[in-house]
Amino acid sequence: MLQQQIEDFIRDIQLASIEKSSDRAAQVEQFRIKYLGKKGVISDLFEQFKSVPNEHKKEIGQALNRLKNAAQAKIEEFRQTVENDEQESGSMDFTMPTDYSSLGSRHVLSVVMNEIVDIFSRIGFTVAESVEIEDDWHLFSALNFPHDHPARDMQDTFFVEKDEKAGSQEVALRTHTSSVQVRVMENNKPPIRIIAPGRVFRNEAISARAHCIFHQVEALYVDKKVSFADLKQTLLYFAKEMFGSDTKIRLRPSYFPFTEPSAEMDISCNICGGKGCNICKGTGWLEILGCGMVDPNVLRACNINPDEYTGFALGMGVERMAMLKYQIRDLRLYFENDLRFLRQFEAII
């Protein structure tokens, strides 16, 4: 009879649970008193155990120990449940406003590059992209670079493969996105109107104003009767859209192997309004890009007849654009992933 009572209590303990309410700790204490208290179930059974015949004491004693262990294990389980619930509820203050998790945002270079692309797309330019590891033909030769041009030297270019044998093709990380223009002209007939954004690499010492990795956006327009006047109006439109309607431009003669004539474009300083400051070094002007009419030799290399077609090309550094637009003084900040710097531009996304 006593053996059956003990087994029934063990089964009840195993099936026991506590209700989800604010007094769960009190429920655990009531459960403990019921089974392990001085006047509890187990204490009463041990009193009855004294009158059990000797031949049954071992069996009944083992059952009582199982009952006691089951009660202690269940109480520990209840206490752990209550503790976990308190920790979860204690970490939340339901009277506080909602905590909106911080969301990621675009990098300032991506923002500026997208803005440049958007400006040119509004006047008919489409995006063209290509590989970042290029051969000598698309990187230099097709762009009218002489074989002794300094840009071919190791101090400017990261060569992936360089075979000194005559006639071999050198492979390098692209130093400009002009190689994209060559590939487009090789595979498409005029009219061509493309913009080529992308990352480029040059073997330069890293400083506040130079880096071995940077980004360019280049534009190309090839068609019949394209003139320098078309280039100038395109540049003026871009400058006003990018830096404001009061922006002025000026073109200075320059030299690039792949354009003739060539020019560099300055904009009126948007910091001092052209009056002169430390940003524009007192001149009132800021250089932002290089441009020119596509050299006939480049058109011939891409199987385009220069007697029938002309074109213009221009290229700019995205880091330079971002520096001028947001007064950023150090190029290295773009690549250091410092959240204090990056979070300054969340509002412009």
Task: Give residue-wise pLDDT tens across range 272-319.
Answer: 767 777 767 778 888 889 999 999 999 999 999 999 999 999 999 998
Q: Which residue has the tokens 């195993």?
A: 14
Average pLDDT estimate for 17-25: 74
Mean pLDDT is lowest, of 80-94, 100-114, 220-234, 306-320, for 80-94
Average pLDDT over all residues of the chain: 84
Mean pLDDT is lowest, of 134-143, 163-172, 236-245, 284-293, for 163-172
Range of 6-20, 24-38, 84-98, 223-237 with top mean pLDDT: 223-237
Alpha-helical regions (H) of the chain:
2-15, 24-36, 41-49, 54-90, 108-121, 136-139, 178-187, 228-243, 296-301, 318-326, 339-342
More confident call, 276 vs 123? 123
SS3 342: helix
- Asked whether residue 86 carries a pLDDT value surpassing 70, the answer given is no
Q: What is the percent of the chain where pLDDT is above 70?
A: 89
pLDDT at 123: 93
Average pLDDT estimate for 130-144: 89
- Please spell the DSSP secondary structure of 90-112, one letter per residue: HT--TTSPP-PPPPP---HHHHH
Whether the Cβ atoms of residue 178 and residue 313 lie closer than 8 Å to each other: yes
Mean pLDDT is lowest, of 4-8, 199-203, 281-285, for 4-8
Whether the Cβ atoms of residue 309 and residue 190 lie closer than 8 Å to each other: yes
User: Alpha-carbon distance 211 to 216, whole Å?
Assistant: 13
User: Alpha-carbon distance 225 to 231, whole Å?
Assistant: 12
pLDDT at 89: 58
- Asked whether residue 210 carries a pLDDT value surpassing 50, the answer given is yes
pLDDT band at 101 (very low <50, low <70, confident <90, very high): low
Q: In the structure encoding, which two tokens stand for residue 111, read together?
A: 């923002």
pLDDT at 71: 81
Q: In the structure encoding, which two tokens stand for residue 145, read together?
A: 């670079």
Nearest C-alpha neighbor of 49 from the set 32, 67, 34: 67
pLDDT band at 118 (very low <50, low <70, confident <90, very high): very high
User: Alpha-carbon distance 149 to 154, whole Å?
Assistant: 11
pLDDT at 13: 80
Nearest C-alpha neighbor of 18 from the set 90, 83, 68: 83
- Asked whether residue 105 carries a pLDDT value surpassing 90, the answer given is no
In degrees rounded to 5, what are phi and psi of residue 153?
-75, 150
- Asked whether residue 135 carries a pLDDT value surpassing 70, the answer given is yes
pLDDT band at 67 (very low <50, low <70, confident <90, very high): confident
pLDDT band at 51 (very low <50, low <70, confident <90, very high): confident
Whether the Cβ atoms of residue 105 and residue 341 lie closer than 8 Å to each other: no
Nearest C-alpha neighbor of 300 from the set 182, 204, 133, 196: 182
Range of 131-135, 146-150, 229-233 with top mean pLDDT: 229-233
pLDDT at 166: 40
pLDDT band at 92 (very low <50, low <70, confident <90, very high): low
User: Alpha-carbon distance 342 to 345, whole Å?
Assistant: 6
- Asked whether residue 265 carries a pLDDT value surpassing 70, the answer given is yes
